[in-house]
Amino acid sequence: MDEHVLLETSMHKVLTRRQALIAAGTFLGGFALGACSRSSARQARALQYTVQSGDTLSQLSRRSGLSISEIIKANRLRSNSLEVGQRLSFPGVKELGPDPLLAAKKQLHSYNIITRNEWGALPMKSNHDPMAAITRITVHHTHEIPGMMHRNDREIVKAIARYHRNTLQWADIGYHYLIGRDGYVYEGRPVTAQGAHARGINNLNNLGIAVIGDFNDHLPEEKQLNALKSFLADMQKTYSVANNRVYGHYQFVNTACPGKALKGWLQDYVKGVHS
């Protein structure tokens, strides 16, 4: 064969191998870049979340769909305990859904619970005492904070929280739960913290439940009253609180709370008339 032909053939083979290597490098480099880009994109899309009172890794795992180990790794956590106000990242998560365990519990009752996260509660401040064993329950109405009844229940809960936190300088909203006119039960101050609803030592071991509205002249509407009755019974069962340990606010301080009409209903409830 002509030496020129041999040279051209050899050069062609070299170029072909070089082109193949370049193409492979481009592919591999592109794959690496693509993988890096996807990794960066996942990090960029990581949901940022502020830990609220009562949050646990198990709960946040259920709400995010990530495993506990994935949350720990993404945030370089050194323990399973969380602190209120701590910032966490959830890679690839657009939003935290409701806790399916809580949702399952909701279906067991004739009322639905709106959690602190769902109505937009701020983290509880530090100026509070831990709640000891709950041995009594006190019922209130929210007429003592006037000028808000034209708002919807979520707005009222937020307004009460702002008033208690900012004006009264409390750690959080004073009540542990609020019963809305919409029939929902709003989670207030965490039950792990002593409330600020019955004044001073009266708050010891005392779960505070407020019914949204003014009930001096009339009772709550049917769905609100049914939610109160059902929720009150559940809390008594949960904490082993007998009827004679269920109080109206008026029994601790000089006030008409929870209103004349609701006071009468509550007195009958304690006697077992509404059971």
191-208 per-position pLDDT tens digit: 999 999 998 999 999 999
Q: What is the pLDDT of residues 128-168, one digit of tens each?
A: 999 999 999 999 999 856 677 788 999 999 999 999 999 99
153: three-class secondary structure by DSSP: helix
Q: What is the largest CA-CA distance in the chain?
A: 117
Within its chain, how far is the Cα of 29 from the centroid?
Answer: 44
pLDDT in the model for residue 230? 93
pLDDT in the model for residue 45? 81
Question: What whole-number distance in Å separates Cα of residue 141 and Cα of residue 196?
Answer: 14
Within its chain, how far is the Cα of 164 from the centroid?
Answer: 19
| Residue among 103, 81, 186 at smallest CA distance from 142 | 186
pLDDT in the model for residue 104? 55
Identity of the amino acid at 34: G
Encoding tokens for residue 125?
A: 């401040």
Helix-, strand-, coil-residue percentages of the chain, each rounded to 5: 45, 15, 40
Beta bridge partners of 184: 112
| Residue among 40, 62, 60, 36 at smallest CA distance from 50 | 60
Within its chain, how far is the Cα of 185 from the centroid?
Answer: 13
Minimum mean pLDDT among 19-28, 38-47, 253-262: which range?
19-28
Judge whether 212 and 153 are in contact, CB under 8 Å. Answer: yes
pLDDT in the model for residue 102? 67
Name the one residue in this structure whose structure tokens are 């996260």: 117
pLDDT band at 244 (very low <50, low <70, confident <90, very high): very high
Q: What is the pLDDT of residues 44-75, one digit of tens each?
A: 588 999 998 778 888 899 888 899 999 999 99
Q: What is the CA radius of gyration of the chain?
A: 30
pLDDT in the model for residue 254? 94
